[in-house]
Structure 1
Amino acid sequence: MNGQTPARHYYKKLVPSLILILNCIQFLSHPAKADPILLAFVFAVYLAFIWIIPYVASTAVSLCIFIGLWLLTDFFWAVSGQEQGAAYFLIVFLMIYAAFRLPSRLSLIFTACLIGGNILLLSSQGGSLNTIISNISIMLGLYVLFSSMRFRREARREAERNHAELAKMHVQLEHAHKELQKAHAELQKASVLSLRYAVLEERTRIARDIHDSIGHELTSVIVQLQSLPYILKSSKEDSEKVIQNVLSVARECLQEVRSVVHQMGRSESMVGLTALRGLIHQVEERSGLHVSLDTAGLSEESWPPNVSETIYRILQEALTNIIRHADASHAAAVISNDKSHLYVTITDDGQFTGSLTYGFGLTGMKERAEKAGGSLTFSAVQPSGLKIELSLPLMTTHKEQKDEQR
């Protein structure tokens, strides 16, 4: 009864109730062997059954009620002695109601039991074979008729339910289609932003490479050119040597520019301690800054390419900053490692006392360290000077592998 309007709900109980009341009046108005009080009682029980059974949810309880009514009707039949009267009408009424109320297979079994019980009662009361066959035929015909009506009703309800589900699915598909369109638009927007970010990241990388490499070389050129007038006065041979160094550095700057412009990738010379020693030797020759390298705590010299380049570029930028800003005479680099990390400490005896301004160089150093999965910190050295501490993981992360492949 779920899903039905209240008017239709009561209609399905009022119609059979009226049928029972009218037939009860008809049977009471004609003389019969049955006790009128018993007849009225049986019809009253059926009437109560009509109004109670729709609220019974359990199939087992419903079947028990049907069986109880059947036994009550058979008892009434046996007591009244009527062959074609009220008892037979109630049996047929119960069978029709079972065809609508009970599950199809259960209603068929119940109808077969009713027919069998009728045959036994008719036979015990001396009913003829024609009467028995006629009763069985009527009951079978009525059962087939009302069962087919029930099947058509259930098929119609199933079609309506399927149609409602299809309509609901259609609405959901339309909603999903709109969501996919929205997601597609957002994905296109994200792709454009990602492309812009990639271009910006590449520009930043090129700018950082130019600053770290060419800036370092040009700083060396400036320092040597500044000292050239004094060297010319003291020694012609030293001045020629300075000029040759400046030309060599200029050529290296040109080569570095070509390397960055053509994106030739990482330089294989920036690998391991050999590259670091070469860098320190160049700095000492071109600037006069004394740089010491301590690798006593280093147990392995084979590093991943991204670690080698990161150390090289950070040491290069650190020495460039010392030459430009620190007014230092000595710098020291200490490299050590454990099973998972590589540590680099760079100190100088310059003028730094604690006030640090982050420019492009220091910011680029920090970004390089973080991109490699490490960290970079700055602190003051007593009584003056700057300490740079770098920590890098020796295992290449998944993000770094993707960056290298890209």
Structure 2
Amino acid sequence: MNGQTPARHYYKKLVPSLILILNCIQFLSHPAKADPILLAFVFAVYLAFIWIIPYVVSTAVSLSIFIGLWLLTDFFWAVSGQEQGAAYFLIVFLMIYAAFRLPSRLSLIFTACLIGGNILLLSSQGGSLNTIFSNISIMIGLYVFFSSMRFRREARREAERNHAELAKMHVQLEHAHKELQKAHAELQEASVLSLRYAVLEERTRIARDIHDSIGHELTSVIVQLQSLPYILKSSKEDSEKVIQNVLSVARECLQEVRSVVHQMGRSESMVGLTALRGLIHQVEERSGLHVSLDTAGLSEESWPPNVSETIYRILQEALTNIIRHADASHAAAVISNDKSHLYVTITDDGQFTGSLTYGFGLTGMKERAEKAGGSLTFSAVQPSGLKIELSLPLMTTHKEQKDEQK
């Protein structure tokens, strides 16, 4: 009954009700052996059945009502004597209604039982074979006709339901297609932005590498060239040595530029304490700054490549800044570690007293430390000088390295 209009709902009750009422009047208008009161009662029960059965949801209850009406009709047939037209009409009416109301297999079984009961009643009342055969043929024909009507109606409803589902699915697919188009456009936009960000990040990295490496080398060249006039006056051999050092540093600058431009990746020389000692030796030889390296608190000298590069670049930039700005004679680097972190402390005896200006170099140092997951702080040393403290995580870095190796 779901989805039907109220007019159609009542129409399906009024038509069979009118059929019952008209046939009841017809049978009452002809004298018969059947009791008119009993006949009217049976028809009234059928009329009530027409209006009640649509509200019964349970199949078992519906079948029980159909069986009860069948037994009532058979009783009425048995007591009506030779006048069996009304009882036969009610049996046929019940069969037709079962074909529409009960499930198809159950309605077939119920119809077979009705036909069997009719045969028994006709045989017990002395009915001829022709009469029995004609009654059975009529009931079978009517059942096939109305069952086919029911099947066509259900097929039509199923087709309408499938069409509605397809239309709904079509709308959903159109909506999903629009959402996919929107997501595709957003993905394209995100890809463009990601590419721009990658280019910008690479430019920043190259600029930082040039500043950290080439800037350090050029600072050494400038310091040696500034001292060259004084050395020329004092010793020809020392001046030739200075010139050779300047040429060597210039060649290293050129090599560093080529390395950065062609993006040859991390230098294997920037790994571990060996690289740090080599850097300190170069600084002492080219600038005259004395640098000490203390590794007494270091329990492990094998670091991941990104940690090694971070320490190397920060120490390189720190020494470059000391040479350029601190006017210091001594610098010290202390490296230690525990189970989870690596610590580097760089101090000098320069002129710094507490007023620090963050330029490209200091900013790049902090960015390198933060990119490696660590931290970098600056503080004053008494009575003067600058302290740089670097902390880098080792456990996380080791885990990331293992994941990359996998």
* TM superposition shift of 1:161: 1.1
CA 1:384–1:88 in 2, change beyond 3 Å: closer, same or farther? farther
Given the alignment of the two structures, is residue 155 of structure 1 paired with residue 155 of structure 2, yes or no?
A: yes
* TM superposition shift of 1:386: 3.1
* TM superposition shift of 1:30: 1.4
Paired position in structure 2 for 1:196: 196
Paired position in structure 1 for 2:385: 385
Cα contact 2:33–2:83 (8 A) shared by 1: no
For the residues of structure 1 that align with 2:87 and 2:191, how far apart are their CA atoms? 83
Q: Which moved more, 1:290-299 or 1:144-153?
A: 290-299
Cα contact 1:372–1:400 (8 A) shared by 2: no
After superposition, give the CA deviation of every residue in 1:275-295 in whole Å (9 maximum; x if it has no partner): 100101111222232221111
Cα contact 2:34–2:81 (8 A) shared by 1: yes
CA 1:398–1:197 in 2, change beyond 3 Å: closer, same or farther? farther
TM-score for both structures, normalised by structure 1: 0.91
CA 1:269–1:54 in 2, change beyond 3 Å: closer, same or farther? same
Cα contact 1:343–1:391 (8 A) shared by 2: yes
For the residues of structure 2 that align with 1:400 and 1:163, how far apart are their CA atoms? 56
For the residues of structure 2 that align with 1:57 and 1:346, how far apart are their CA atoms? 88
Cα contact 1:381–1:387 (8 A) shared by 2: yes
SS class of match (2:396): coil
For the residues of structure 2 that align with 1:82 and 1:381, how far apart are their CA atoms? 129
After superposition, give the CA deviation of every residue in 1:150-204 in whole Å (9 maximum; x if it has no partner): 1111111111111111111111112222222222222222222222222212211
Runs (5+) with no aligned partner, structure 1: none
For the residues of structure 2 that align with 1:399 and 1:5, how far apart are their CA atoms? 69
TM-score for both structures, normalised by structure 2: 0.91
* TM superposition shift of 1:19: 0.8
Cα contact 2:304–2:397 (8 A) shared by 1: no
Paired position in structure 1 for 2:66: 66
* TM superposition shift of 1:76: 1.9
Report the RMSD for the aligned CA atoms in angstroms: 2.7
CA 1:81–1:385 in 2, change beyond 3 Å: closer, same or farther? farther
Cα contact 1:216–1:316 (8 A) shared by 2: yes
CA 1:332–1:128 in 2, change beyond 3 Å: closer, same or farther? same
Cα contact 1:371–1:400 (8 A) shared by 2: no
After superposition, give the CA deviation of every residue in 1:219-268 in whole Å (9 maximum; x if it has no partner): 22223333444545555544443333323222221221122222222222
* TM superposition shift of 1:102: 0.8
Cα contact 1:304–1:396 (8 A) shared by 2: no
Q: Which moved more, 1:146-155 or 1:240-249?
A: 240-249
Cα contact 2:32–2:83 (8 A) shared by 1: no
The sequence identity of aligned pairs, in percent, is 98
* TM superposition shift of 1:389: 2.8
CA 1:101–1:286 in 2, change beyond 3 Å: closer, same or farther? same
Runs (5+) with no aligned partner, structure 2: none
After superposition, give the CA deviation of every residue in 1:26-83 in whole Å (9 maximum; x if it has no partner): 1121112222222222212211211121122211111111112112222222232355
For the residues of structure 2 that align with 1:141 and 1:378, how far apart are their CA atoms? 104
Cα contact 1:24–1:43 (8 A) shared by 2: yes
For the residues of structure 2 that align with 1:395 and 1:39, how far apart are their CA atoms? 97
SS class of match (1:345): strand
* TM superposition shift of 1:143: 0.6
Q: Which moved more, 1:301-310 or 1:166-175?
A: 301-310
Cα contact 2:28–2:36 (8 A) shared by 1: yes
Q: Which moved more, 1:330-339 or 1:226-235?
A: 226-235
* TM superposition shift of 1:274: 0.9
CA 1:188–1:317 in 2, change beyond 3 Å: closer, same or farther? same
SS class of match (1:320): helix
For the residues of structure 2 that align with 1:361 and 1:113, how far apart are their CA atoms? 101
For the residues of structure 1 that align with 2:353 and 2:32, how far apart are their CA atoms? 125
Cα contact 2:34–2:83 (8 A) shared by 1: no
For the residues of structure 2 that align with 1:229 and 1:30, how far apart are their CA atoms? 148
For the residues of structure 2 that align with 1:70 and 1:354, how far apart are their CA atoms? 109
CA 1:208–1:121 in 2, change beyond 3 Å: closer, same or farther? same
CA 1:162–1:191 in 2, change beyond 3 Å: closer, same or farther? same
Cα contact 2:77–2:84 (8 A) shared by 1: no
SS class of match (2:265): coil
SS class of match (2:3): coil
